[in-house]
Chains A and B, each alone.
Chain A
Amino acid sequence: MIELEDLTKRYGDKLAVDGLSFTVRPGTVTGFLGPNGAGKSTTMRMVLGLDAPTRGDVRIEGKHYGELQEPLHSIGALLEAKGVHGGRRAYDHLLCMAQSNGIPERRVGEVLEMVGLHDVARKRPKGFSLGMGQRLGIAAALLGDPRILMFDEPVNGLDPEGIHWIRTLMQQLAREGRTVFVSSHLMSEMAQTAEHLVVIGQGRLLADTSMSQFIAENSRTHVRVRTPEPERMLDVLVEAGLRPATAADGALEVDGSEAPRIGELAAANQVVLHELSTQRASLEEAFMRLTAQSVEYHAYAPGDVQAAVPGGPPGPPAGTAAPPQGGQAPPGGQAPPAWGENWRKGRRG
């Protein structure tokens, strides 16, 4: 268990982490999500006692990190910067970490086996691929067989096989009852791995919720209807009190998930349908909606983003936490193109 209480970090006049309070519980994978610069890595460094908090507190199984005599038995971490001496053989890298915590030497061979690096144990990591480096970092995290594991963007730059491997590993670790805390800036990635979700933006907590609840509350569903007679179908839908919208490719989109009713309406009015499907707006979109106000340099007003969601009437995102401050006003001036910009264009067609 990791407990954060009002955790705050200020670098000069930059508030990197702003009053974070949440608890990471055992037995599940907790995703730690936020756009670039949200403060994820900074938070994780504070968990490990590497950076001192400006204010607030973080505890590992009830203790401050500095109070842990041999911390690798309690918590293992893979940090953003890999932190491996390129000239020190993989085996020796793990050995020196193991020795400092009284972990027997045979464990080094075990973890190398677990991550599939036994063949290169005697090689120097400067020749390692990205994936091999990541595996070495994970091997180090597993050394002390800790109850808590913390990974900072473990899948960054990995190929699909590597991503699958890490995802499976994290889920297995959680099944064994361990606390798994993993950061990412990809919602889609987290949706497949994490059961619990903590979202931050500009250092502030935006959501602390279960993944299923987040999906239920944040992914707007709509029904997509394709027909050779769009005008007639449009009339039928409007008459039935629905609010269809026309998508870029000419299909109709109706907010909600009333596919059966729409199919019956079409049948009753003898409209030919080529497609009738329920669509969920991607979680990535939900995530962007949630963090829109907190993304550093964004160029659009929050209202804009919601209007861009297909067929959806604008409305506030279903609250999962206190809405981020900042109001609805677009930021003054002409900001440079933000990320999200491409996505907006794409949706509008």
Chain B
Amino acid sequence: MSHTTRVLKSEWTKVRSVRSTVWTLATALVVSVGLGALICGVTASTFGDMSTQDRLTFDATYTSFAGMGLGQLAMIAFGVLIVSAEYSTGMIRNSLAAVPQRGTFLWCKVLIAGTLVLVVGMVTSFCAFFLGQALLGSHGVGIGDPGVLRAVVGGGLYMALIAMFAVGITFVLRSPLLAFAILMPFFFLISNILGNVEATKKVGQYLPDQAGTTVMAVVPETLDRPYGPWEGLLIMVAWTVAALVAGFVVLKKRDA
């Protein structure tokens, strides 16, 4: 068994042995799916009140993902906690004493956490989609309709990427308080404002979550971005890679 395999096993033990893993990921799933279902139910019953224009551009897929705006915060919490707990408990010193190859340590943690959030993200996205479409009834779409599968898979990728962005940022910031204080309000509020207000939209729409959500929209008018769905996701991937590389540089350079 190679060294990397051993470190991966160790990181898997770490993730599965703390309670925060279960409750952050379960919260992400329940909130995203539940809130999405609620909004789909309400939309279905008020569909008749919508303007013709709104009905023509109605994005049934995107509507079923309406809970992810809140659910992603639990994904971010997972990403923050998995890294900051190492620092707040001092475990990082034991971890690095056991694995002094800091790159191996970080990328193994990233791989384990990434796989886990990808699985949870996909389950979340598919559940939210199917439950939402069932509630939308005749206004819903099928998974086989053009662009829909891409959007649903994209939703799973989005949830995974937002958590991994948080992982990278927390490796830079180290402190759980600081990471929460910056990431939570940013993704809950600030980036939404920057991405939608006319004055800041030009730049704001390139923020990780603003770009990433493009992949979840099937009707182009939903978000009105100058880039396509996959390009949007790619922008988010770039942000995430940048955050992780920054985290790696800080881990490598600074005293533990």
Contact = CB atoms under 8 A, between A and B. Distances in A.
Interface of A: 45, 48-52, 65-66, 68-72, 77, 79, 81-89, 92-93, 95-102, 140
Interface string B225-256: 00000000000000000000000000000011
B55 interface: no
Interface string B114-151: 00000000000000000000000000000000000000
B1 to A, nearest CB: 7
Contact of A87 (B19, B90, B93): B19
B104 to A, nearest CB: 9
26 contacts: A45-B93, A45-B255, A49-B96, A49-B100, A50-B97, A51-B256, A69-B3, A71-B98, A79-B97, A81-B90, A82-B90, A83-B89, A83-B92, A83-B94, A85-B89, A87-B18, A88-B18, A92-B13, A92-B14, A92-B17, A99-B9, A99-B10, A100-B6, A100-B9, A100-B95, A140-B94
Contacts of B99: 100
B206 to A, nearest CB: 36
A323 B243 CA distance: 51
Interface residues of B, number: 29
Contact of B6 (A48, A77, A88, A102): A102
A190 to B, nearest CB: 24
A98 B19 CA distance: 21
A50 B99 CA distance: 11
Given A71-B100, A85-B18, A96 B10 contact: yes
B170 to A, nearest CB: 15
Interface of B: 1, 3, 6-7, 9-11, 13-14, 17-20, 85, 89-101, 255-256
Contact of A96 (B1, B13, B20): B13
A101 B89 contact: no
Contacts of B10: 96-100
B92 A96 contact: no
A244 B7 CA distance: 68
B98 A97 contact: yes
A102 B98 contact: no
Nearest to B254: A52
A49 B90 CA distance: 15
A77 B90 contact: no
Contacts of A98: 10
Contacts of B18: 85, 87-88
Contact of B17 (A71, A96, A102): A96
Given A66-B101, A102-B1, A102-B6, A48 B17 contact: no
Contact of A95 (B3, B13, B89): B13
A99 B105 CA distance: 13
A86 B3 CA distance: 27
Contacts of A89: 17
Given A96-B14, A96-B17, A100-B7, A51 B94 contact: no
